[in-house]
Structure 1
Amino acid sequence: MPFWTRLSVAGLVGLSLALAATPGPAAWPAPAFRAERIDAPGRVLDLSEHLGRLPIVLNFWASWCAPCRVEAPLLRNEEARQRGRVLFVGVNLQDTPGGARAFLQTYFWSFPNVRDAHGKLARAYRVVGLPTTVFINAAGQVVRVHAGPLTAERLEAFVSALTQPSAP
């Protein structure tokens, strides 16, 4: 990997970790989107069909992102535990289609994954680095944007908070 690429990645990781510790603003409406699925070519995910119906976890990732690879099994396991109660969606950024498909095959993600080739979704969801996980409550409000890798404990706690009857 070229020096400037490594430096950029290191800077984004550092910024992500700093922002992860910063409390977010009040809840805000989750932007709806339609995007072609990586895991099911030819099919489209329309998030508006799910917003306001059940909690959603959006994970922004890339195959070249080392923290994303560490976090991948945690997301797979939590999605399996929450299947039917919480919708998990992967959003691939800055990747080749082949790299993205290989990542999905390696980590056995069974939840929908879409490609954000130009960063439009990342901007809409205020993503500044990878990985970033966005937590959307059942009312369709973004209640947390976590920049940086998640631990199993944090992921479980954040998802559990979404599924509580009094979730923000």
Structure 2
Amino acid sequence: MPPGRLLPSLVLALFGLALAAVPGPTSWPAPPFSAERLDRPGAVLNLAETLGRRPVVLNFWASWCVPCRVEAPVLRDAERRYRGRVLFVGVNLQDTRKGAEAFMETFFWSFPNVRDPRGAVARRYRVGGIPTTVFIDAGGRVVRVWTGPLDPERLEAFLRALIGTPEG
């Protein structure tokens, strides 16, 4: 972690955990965006091409964020289980390309990841801290926003609700 990044990471994480319990609108249209992909240099991900076709999970993260590192394997494993049913997209927030690429390699992330160097996408999704995960239903509406690291059980419950699968 670069010097001087630990304190901002902790502050964002604590702020984010406080926000996780704050109620907000139950559903709102997911804002489309286009952003440069980290996992395919030179390519652009256009979320508008996916919205309304299948559920999407957007995870806002940074390589310098300690809670993001805790959550990373949980996301990787869930994406592998739900591949083809849910599109996972990582949104790397205010980070260096080198740091982001190393993070993705460390945690063996194979799902699409985009850069958000100035936080424009994060603002559109009302992100107040990281990690934040936004759940978008197949109709293109944000149905849940969770700020703070997700554990496997909570993520599984959120994904089942997102795709309409009963518990079990």
Aligned to 2:68: 68
Aligned residues: 164
Q: Distance in 2 between matches of 1:82 and 1:13?
A: 27
Q: For 1:14-163, what aligned pairs fall within 5 Å after superposition?
A: 14-163=14-163
Q: Distance in 2 between matches of 1:84 and 1:140?
A: 17
Aligned to 2:11: 11
Q: TM-score, normalised by structure 1?
A: 0.93
8 Å contact from structure 2 (residues 10, 66) kept in 1: no
Deviations 1:28-86 (A, max 9, x none): 00000111100000111110010000000000000011110110000000000000000
Q: Distance in 2 between matches of 1:87 and 1:33?
A: 15
Q: Which moved more, 1:152-161 or 1:16-25?
A: 16-25
Q: TM-score, normalised by structure 2?
A: 0.93
Displaced runs of 4 or more, over 6 A: none
Q: Distance in 2 between matches of 1:164 and 1:127?
A: 25
Deviations 1:89-126 (A, max 9, x none): 00001111001011111111110000001100000000
- 1:7 Cα deviation after fit: 4.0
Q: Secondary structure at the match of 2:40?
A: coil
8 Å contact from structure 2 (residues 52, 138) kept in 1: yes
Q: Secondary structure at the match of 1:35?
A: strand
Q: Distance in 2 between matches of 1:101 and 1:15?
A: 26
- 1:165 Cα deviation after fit: 7.2
- Report the CA distance shift for 1:17/1:100 in structure 2 as closer, same or farther (over 3 A): same
Q: Which amino acid aligns with 2:37?
A: R
Question: Which runs of no fewer than 5 residues in structure 1 stay unpaired?
Answer: none
Q: Distance in 2 between matches of 1:6 and 1:56?
A: 30
